[in-house]
Amino acid sequence: MSGLANPTIAILLTGMLVGMAGALLGSFLVLRGNSMLADAISHSILFGIALAWLATGETSGAVQIAGAALSGVLAVFLIETLARSRRLRDDAAIGLVFPALFSIGVVLINVFARDVHLDEHTVLLGEIGFVWLDTVTVAGLVVPRALLASATLLLVDALFVLAFYNALKLATFDPGLARALGLAPGLVFYAHLSLLSGTAVAAFDAVGVVLFVTFVVVPPAAAYLLCRRLSSLIAVAMLIAVASAPLGYGAALWLDVSVGGAMALATAPFLVGAFSWRRWRERRRYRAAQPPAVSASSSA
């Protein structure tokens, strides 16, 4: 048995890789103020996963991941189209589209796929505790399937961000200027969200839809409170995601609870810590800026 198929190593590595990929792409999403799209995408891919399973009888594999990712892109397209019609607000469009695709996915699974491991509980929370049971052999190495999928997606995500860093950054900060300069922010936006969908599908088996959203939103939100540069924000967000995996795993063993749930919850102390640090720093600055007489009278 190779090291990668060792249960503890497989669980920890999968958690870290999924966390890093989520935090990397999530940084741009959180800065754009589109965090809820992560929720929409990760729910909507269930529709695609159900369709891909019906068509091929498999739930994992490159074709299935790409196919299921399309349903995440479909969700974004529907949301954008509804919002652009100016008949619905953005948040209403999100709230309308993803529960619809999610529930169609649930119904498809209930009707056609009673016997497979796709049940509602796994869909929501995943089963990272069992990732080491489902393995494939790559170049003589026995690798858990979820680990291979999340490593591949992290690699693709990282290459995408490195190659299009300028365009992603400008499309996030000032889409108007990006467009005026010919850097097609709309195209960048869809490419980014397509990868987020693909990553959500790859992460799906391991952590489920709800926990994936945690990794996309919480580490970048915490890093946003700590960092003054985009590059350091991304690095800190990915570090928080990496640290949350062993922290959550330890907590899960100790309390005998869901590993995925504990890993997601383990991002919370980082957010609370970042929030408190930011408040403390702002208060200290505010006090330093006050003339002594004023601070004396206000403390009296």
Partner 1 sequence: MSDLRADIHTPHEPELALHIEDLTVSYGDRPALWDIDLNIPPGVLAGVVGPNGAGKSTLLKAILGLVPRSAGHVRLFGHPYKSQRKRVGYVPQRSSVDWDFPTTAVDVVTMGLYGQLGWWRWPGRRERDRALRALEEVGMEALADRQISELSGGQQQRVFIARALVQKPDLLLLDEPMAGVDATTERSIIDILSRLRSEGRTIVVVHHDLQTVQRYFDWLVFLNVRVIAAGEMAAVYSARNLRRTYGGQIALLDENGAAAPDAPGER
Residues lying near partner 1 in the complex (CB under 8 A) are found at: 31, 33, 86, 163-167, 169-170, 172-174, 176-183, 224, 227-230, 232-233
Q: Which of 195, 231, 227, 199 is nearest to 212 (CA)?
A: 199
Q: Which residue, 77 or 224, has its beta carbon nearer to partner 1?
A: 224
Q: Which residue, 141 or 187, has its beta carbon nearer to partner 1?
A: 187
CA dihedral (262, 263, 264, 269) positive or negative? positive
Q: Which residue, 49 or 241, has its beta carbon nearer to partner 1?
A: 241
- Min dist CB 162 to partner 1, Å, is 9
Q: Which residue, 75 or 225, has its beta carbon nearer to partner 1?
A: 225
Q: Which residue, 116 or 177, has its beta carbon nearer to partner 1?
A: 177
- Min dist CB 185 to partner 1, Å, is 10
State how far the Cα of 162 lies from the Cα of 180, in Å rounded to an integer. 22
- Within 13 A of 201's CA, how many CA atoms are on the CB side? 33
- Min dist CB 232 to partner 1, Å, is 7
- Min dist CB 262 to partner 1, Å, is 30
Cβ–Cβ under 8 Å, residues 193 and 73? yes
Query: Is 182 in a helix, a strand, or coil?
Result: coil
Q: Which residue, 143 or 170, has its beta carbon nearer to partner 1?
A: 170
Query: Considering just the CA atoms, what is the radius of gyration of the chain in Å?
Result: 21
Cβ–Cβ under 8 Å, residues 18 and 207? yes
Q: Which residue, 48 or 185, has its beta carbon nearer to partner 1?
A: 185
Cβ partners under 8 Å of residue 2, min gap 6: 141, 142, 143
DSSP 109: H
- Min dist CB 231 to partner 1, Å, is 9
- Min dist CB 22 to partner 1, Å, is 19
For 276, the token pair is 């408190």
Cβ–Cβ under 8 Å, residues 19 and 265? no
Residue 140's CB is within 10 A of a number of other CB atoms, namely: 6
Cβ partners under 8 Å of residue 182, min gap 6: none
Q: Which residue, 150 or 172, has its beta carbon nearer to partner 1?
A: 172
User: E strands along the chain, which residues?
Assistant: 135-138, 141-144
Give counts: helices (H), strands (E), the chain: 13, 2
